[in-house]
């Protein structure tokens, strides 16, 4: 076992410090060290996107990213979406439009969708489909996920989220 | 007809938003890998790199030097405890950990346990296994050759043949085919594929040495049956086993069997007295757990020149891999494959299936389907298109001509099933209208003139779902009923528990809607629980679209028992006789005097406070429902494709899906199920393939090689519905989760073949990758 490294990661607005093996994957740091299990692990090879989190605001797949690489940086996961007890429009959209079934891909899918909307607040259907194309869903056939993102885009546009 | 309830009650037919979503959208789901117990340790499986090899030795010394190493369990250890082999779900047995030899790549050889997850994986790298390679058999067509290696030395019968099964009128069918003016034949392979739910399989096994209680958090679609099997196989008293199936990240049949990893985790927990977590990697999931299909099929149809079908003959070779671990509870070796006459009125039919062993992963699970109905629906829908092509008839017209007429239901098919209800022409006519079929054909003709490739594919499938009945279906002898228990609290709120287990189907929302329909209690006042064998009534689980047909029926029946008691209490409260009462959802009232009424909430309170003389307190019921028959959902799908001549790429331009699943509980959820099933059908038609090279190496053992559609490849689905209720189901429902996956592969393939039919193409095997189409186009001189 290699020497452990001390890292400090700002996770959903709270500093989390730990001594970790250099090989520890970020997804395991988030789930097992920080105990936030909303981020899932689906494929190990960066294909499915269930482990998608935002690193300094940009989506990454945390199953192929080492925890030590996140030292001193900011991570946002599904647990960080809720604000003052109020659901984020992207969360509302997934529920309103039936954008989820088993729920396993949902956290990663929402993080990718959020990153898309922050870059492109009024995406077309095709842009949404490309924007979430790094995230696999086996249940919904994506159609209602597209609607969920459109719902969130409209809501965010209205400025409901301050 | 189902009486419409108010939105406040939210009974059947309301698009109620899902209750389960609240936790999932906040990252608060509780999947097996989220379970974390004090003192928990981790398991990792050592797997065979070879497809067929003799085990010479296993050395664990180096592995045990890893910091945190606790144990390595081998087949020899399990053999000492009588657990090296376990029964499969279909009259065979399979190795838990290899003894003697390995029979497929990625077979389980040893189980390493360590205090940390990474340490357990390190250990697995350091377990040294010596093998002697043996000749590998991957082609099922060679399994019965005289020089084929015999794979299963453990069996008395020294052959790779597992079973021969036939059904129908062999001679009559042969005569009909011989004397027929027209015969159409198709040889079609339904390729080996894998359901690949986004969550892999896994468990946490927690044996408490103080109480002797074993609790297993399990990715299980059938927790009660699994508890019984663990008890029977492991010799643990059943009351000391609790299986908890928490949130499941998709199942699609993958989580029906019991896998060696589960058994190893249980053994490790028994040995160590600590909770042991084992979660598959994606590669382990794809390479070793239940594959689906691998049916090599031939269909021959005899018909008159006008297209009237006379007979169907089907011959199939089924590749079951190293062990016959087909997860199917029917009495028939090929499950419900004999539904292969589909939606058509064949006077004669004959079907035979032979199963063989090969050096591939065991399985034969029902991937989003009812035990081989997908293979059957694909075959007949392909064969009908081949016949239409041969007769130069429009495939829609041929189907309309041969549909079982709606006045012939219940319909006895020549292979033994009794279809409950159907109106196939209605579904097809709606689909044709939605598609603008005639215009599409005109457009296709014009495009052909210009050398462009456009195809229209039709599939008018019939499903068979909802196992039981108990006389035909069982798991380890346990009949395939299902159950519901409802308790009404004094304040009129309720809890219901079922023997099924949702994996994303939305049971927490839909089953309360059935109770709301039957009792008038608002659906939001009803909590639904399933998946905990210590609390839920015994049931056989969720797969084969059986939750609504079986547990849904049990739910309605349990609610009706409660309503019967509620009527007695209402009569007592209103001081009238029971016969003087009428019911509308939510209250009993005196006939002719609707203001004299007692609500279900008032009655519930009285059930605990003010009962008629001699009546037991409480308001609850349990019902175990054994269905009298299966249900037969159906539909017509139309697919429109454009093919890029330069690349062979197929673009699905439109897809129209008309489904008939009888009465609908929640239209939003039904539509979601259809979207999802169609997408899996698309994946099967164009992408998903688990193949093996000649040495037995798995091709397609990770998501880089096993392709799944993203939002970009997935088209916009156009859905429609007709409603033909099931006459034997208490709420007239039929089940829907699998119809789109069963019915759609043929529509996609028929569309591609249709686009190329003028070139003489009559069949292309799935998955239709661009290279296959490109190759055909080059062969035909199309550039």
| B672 has a chain A CB within 8 A of its CB | yes
- B429 with B498, same domain: the answer is no
Structural domain ending residue among the three candidates A24, A45, A80:
A80
Answering whether pTM is above 0.80, one says yes
Instruction: Check whether residue A46 and residue A113 sit in a common domain.
Output: no
Q: CATH code at A107? A: 1.10.150.120
Last residue of a domain, one of B625, B641, B669: B625
> What pLDDT shows up at residue B324?
95
pLDDT-derived band of residue A162, with 50, 70 and 90 as boundaries? very low
Domain CATH for B266: 3.30.365.10
In this structure, the answer to whether residues B441 and B300 fall within a common structural domain is yes
On whether residue A137 sits in a domain, the answer given is yes
* Co-location of B84 and B223 in the same domain: yes
Directed axis angle between helix B373-391 and helix B395-402, to 10°?
110
* Chain A residue with the nearest C-alpha to that of B668: A98
- Identify whether residues B498 and B568 lie together within a single domain: yes
Q: Let me know whether A101 and A49 are in one domain.
A: no
Q: Is residue A162 part of a domain?
A: no
* Alpha-carbon dihedral sign for residues B585, B591, B594, B598: negative
Are residues B198 and A42, on separate chains, in Cβ contact within 8 Å?
Answer: yes
Q: What pLDDT score was predicted for residue B589?
A: 98
Tell me the per-residue pLDDT of B727-775, one tens digit each, with 9 for 90 and over.
999 999 999 999 999 999 999 999 999 999 999 999 999 999 999 999 9
Alpha-carbon span B599 to B570, nearest angstrom: 8
B723 is catalytic: no
Final residue of a structural domain among B288, B310, B339: B288
pLDDT of residue A1: 59
Same domain, B282 and B390: no
Among residues B105, B107, B191, B221, the one annotated as catalytic is B221
Q: Where are the alpha helices (DSSP H) in B542-626?
A: 553-574, 600-609
Q: Are residues A57 and A96 in the same domain?
A: no
In a domain, A58, yes or no: yes
- A vs B, Cβ pairs < 8 A, gives 175
Residue that is last in its domain, among B572, B599, B625: B625
Supply φ then ψ for residue B140, to 5 degrees: -60, -25
What confidence score (pLDDT) does residue B783 get?
Answer: 82
Same-domain pairing of A58 and A102? no
Alpha helices for B134-222 (secondary structure H):
170-178
Give the model's pLDDT for residue A2.
75
Kindly state whether residues B440 and B370 are assigned to the same domain.
Answer: yes
The answer on B643 and B555 residing in a single domain is no
Q: Exposure pattern of B112-130 as b/e (b: 16+ CB <10 Å)?
A: bbbbbbbbbbbbbebbebe
Supply the range of the domain harboring residue B111: 39-50+52-135+196-288
**Amino acid A160: pLDDT:** 53
What is the distance between the alpha carbons of residues B157 and B143, in angstroms, rounded to a whole number? 14
- In whole angstroms, give the CA distance from residue B598 to residue B515: 18
- Domain end point (choices A80, A114, A146): A80
In this prediction the ipTM stands at: 0.98
**Mean pLDDT on A137-158:** 96
Q: In chain A, positions 30-89, which contact chain B (CB-CB < 8 Å)? A: 31-32, 35-45, 47-48, 50, 77-79, 81-82, 87
Q: Residue B327: what pLDDT? A: 85
**CATH at A76:** 3.10.20.30
Q: Are B340 and B381 in contact (CB under 8 A)?
A: no
- Do A94 and A74 lie in one domain? The reply is no
In a domain, B273, yes or no: yes
The answer to the question of residue A68 being in a domain is yes
What does the pLDDT read at residue B685?
Answer: 98
| Residues A56 and A122 both lie in one domain | no
CB atoms within 10 A of CB B172: 15
Q: Are residues B474 and B598 in the same domain?
A: yes
Shared domain check, A140 and A100: yes
Test the A interface: residue of B20, B25, B507, B669 with most A CBs within 10 Å:
B25
Q: How many domains does chain B have?
A: 3
Among A80, A100, A120, the domain-final residue is A80
Residues B274 and B306 in one domain: no
For residue B95, what pLDDT is reported?
97
Residue A35 lies in a domain: yes
Predicted confidence (pLDDT) per residue in A41-88, tens digit: 999 999 999 999 999 999 999 999 999 999 999 999 999 999 999 999
Give how many domains chain A has, as a whole number. Answer: 2
Note down the domain range covering A30: 5-80
Q: What is the mean pLDDT of each run of 10 residues along chain B (783 residues)?
A: 92 98 98 98 98 98 98 97 92 96 98 98 98 98 97 96 98 98 98 98 98 98 97 96 98 97 98 98 97 98 98 98 92 96 98 98 93 97 98 98 98 98 98 98 98 98 96 93 98 98 98 98 98 98 95 98 98 98 97 97 98 97 98 98 97 98 98 98 98 97 97 98 98 97 98 98 98 98 90
């Amino acid at each position: 076992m290699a020497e452990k490294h001390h890292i400090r990661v700002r996770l959903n607005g709270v500093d989390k410090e730990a001594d970790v093996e250099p090989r520890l994957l970020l997804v395991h740091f988030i789930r097992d060290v920080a105990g936030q299990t909303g981020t899932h692990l689906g494929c190990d090879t960066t294909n499915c996107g269930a482990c998608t989190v935002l690193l300094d605001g940009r989506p990454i797949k945390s199953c192929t990213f080492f925890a030590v690489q996140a030292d001193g940086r900011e991570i946002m996961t599904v647990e960080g979406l809720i604000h003052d007890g109020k659901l984020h429009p992207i969360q509302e959209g997934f529920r309103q439009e039936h954008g989820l079934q088993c729920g396993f891909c949902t956290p990663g899918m929402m993080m990718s969708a959020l990153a898309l909307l922050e870059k492109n607040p009024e995406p077309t259907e095709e842009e949404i489909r490309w924007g979430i194309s790094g995230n696999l869903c086996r249940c919904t056939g994506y159609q209602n996920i597209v609607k969920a993102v459109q719902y969130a885009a409209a809501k965010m546009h209205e400025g409901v989220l301050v | 007809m189902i009486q419409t309830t108010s939105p406040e009650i939210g009974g059947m037919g309301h698009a109620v938003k899902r209750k389960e979503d609240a936790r999932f959208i906040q990252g608060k789901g509780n999947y097996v890998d989220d379970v974390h117990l004090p003192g928990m340790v981790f398991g990792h499986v050592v797997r065979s790199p070879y497809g067929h090899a003799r085990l010479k030795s296993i050395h664990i010394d180096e592995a045990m030097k890893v910091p945190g190493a606790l144990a390595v369990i081998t087949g020899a250890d399990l053999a000492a405890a009588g657990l090296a082999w376990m029964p499969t779900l279909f009259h065979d047995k399979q190795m838990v950990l290899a003894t003697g030899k390995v029979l497929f790549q990625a077979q389980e050889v040893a189980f390493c346990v360590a205090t940390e997850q990474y340490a357990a994986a390190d250990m697995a790298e350091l377990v040294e296994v010596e093998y002697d390679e043996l000749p590998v058999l991957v082609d099922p067509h060679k399994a019965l050759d005289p020089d084929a290696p015999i794979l299963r030395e453990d069996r008395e019968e020294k052959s790779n043949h597992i079973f021969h099964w036939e059904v129908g009128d062999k001679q009559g069918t042969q005569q009909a085919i011989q004397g027929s003016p027209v015969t159409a034949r198709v040889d079609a392979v339904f390729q080996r594929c894998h359901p690949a739910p986004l969550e892999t399989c896994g468990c946490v096994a927690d044996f408490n040495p103080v109480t002797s209680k074993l609790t297993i958090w399990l990715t299980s679609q059938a927790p009660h049956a699994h508890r019984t099997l663990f008890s029977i196989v492991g010799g643990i008293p059943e009351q000391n086993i609790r299986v908890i199936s928490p949130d499941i990240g998709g199942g699609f049949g993958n989580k029906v069997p019991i896998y060696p990893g589960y058994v190893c985790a249980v053994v490790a927990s028994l040995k160590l007295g600590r909770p042991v977590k084992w979660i598959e990697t994606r590669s382990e999931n794809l390479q070793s757990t239940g594959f689906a299909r691998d049916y090599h099929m031939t269909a021959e149809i005899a018909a008159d020149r006008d297209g009237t079908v006379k007979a169907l003959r089907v011959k199939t070779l089924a590749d079951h891999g190293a062990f016959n671990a087909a997860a199917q509870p029917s009495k028939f070796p090929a499950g419900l494959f004999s539904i292969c006459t589909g939606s058509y009125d064949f006077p004669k039919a004959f079907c035979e299936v032979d199963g063989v062993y090969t050096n591939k992963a065991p399985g034969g699970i029902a991937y989003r389907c009812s035990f081989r109905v997908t293979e059957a629906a694909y075959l007949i829908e392909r064969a009908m298109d081949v016949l239409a092509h041969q007769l130069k008839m429009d495939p829609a017209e041929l189907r309309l001509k041969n549909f079982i007429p709606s006045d012939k239901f219940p319909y006895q098919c020549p292979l033994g099933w009794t279809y409950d209800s159907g109106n196939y022409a209605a579904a097809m006519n709606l689909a044709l209208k939605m598609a603008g079929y005639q215009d599409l054909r005109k457009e296709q003709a014009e495009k052909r003139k210009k050398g462009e490739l456009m195809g229209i594919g039709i599939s008018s499938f019939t499903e068979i779902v909802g196992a039981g009945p108990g006389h035909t279906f069982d798991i380890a002898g346990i009949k395939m009923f299902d159950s519901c228990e409802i308790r009404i609290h004094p304040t009129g709120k309720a809890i219901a528990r079922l023997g099924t287990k949702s994996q994303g189907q939305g049971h927490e929302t839909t089953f309360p809607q059935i109770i709301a329909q039957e009792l008038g209690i608002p659906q939001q006042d009803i909590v639904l629980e399933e998946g905990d064998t210590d609390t839920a009534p015994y049931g056989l689980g969720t797969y084969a679209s059986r939750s609504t047909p079986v547990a849904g029926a049990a739910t309605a029946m349990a609610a009706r028992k409660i309503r019967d008691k509620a009527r007695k209490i209402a009569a007592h409260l209103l001081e009238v006789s029971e016969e003087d009462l009428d019911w509308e959802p939510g209250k009993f009232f005196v006939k002719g005097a609707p203001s004299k009424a007692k609500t279900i909430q008032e009655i519930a309170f009285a059930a605990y406070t003010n009962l008629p003389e001699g009546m037991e307190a409480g308001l609850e019921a349990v019902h175990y429902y054994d269905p009298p028959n299966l249900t037969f959902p159906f539909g017509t799908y139309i697919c429109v494709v454009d093919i890029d001549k330069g690349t062979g790429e197929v673009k699905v331009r439109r897809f129209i899906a008309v489904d008939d699943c009888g009465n609908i509980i929640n239209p939003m959820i039904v539509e979601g199920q259809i979207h999802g099933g169609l997408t899996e059908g698309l994946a099967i038609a164009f992408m998903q393939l688990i193949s093996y090279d000649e040495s037995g190496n798995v091709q397609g053992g990770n998501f880089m090689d096993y392709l799944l559609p993203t939002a970009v490849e997935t088209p916009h689905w156009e859905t429609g519905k007709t409603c033909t209720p099931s006459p034997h189901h208490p709420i007239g429902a039929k089940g829907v989760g699998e119809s789109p996956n069963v019915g759609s592969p043929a529509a996609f393939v028929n569309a591609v073949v249709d686009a190329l039919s003028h070139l003489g193409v009559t069949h292309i095997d799935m998955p239709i990758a661009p290279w296959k189409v490109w190759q055909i186009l080059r062969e035909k001189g199309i550039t």
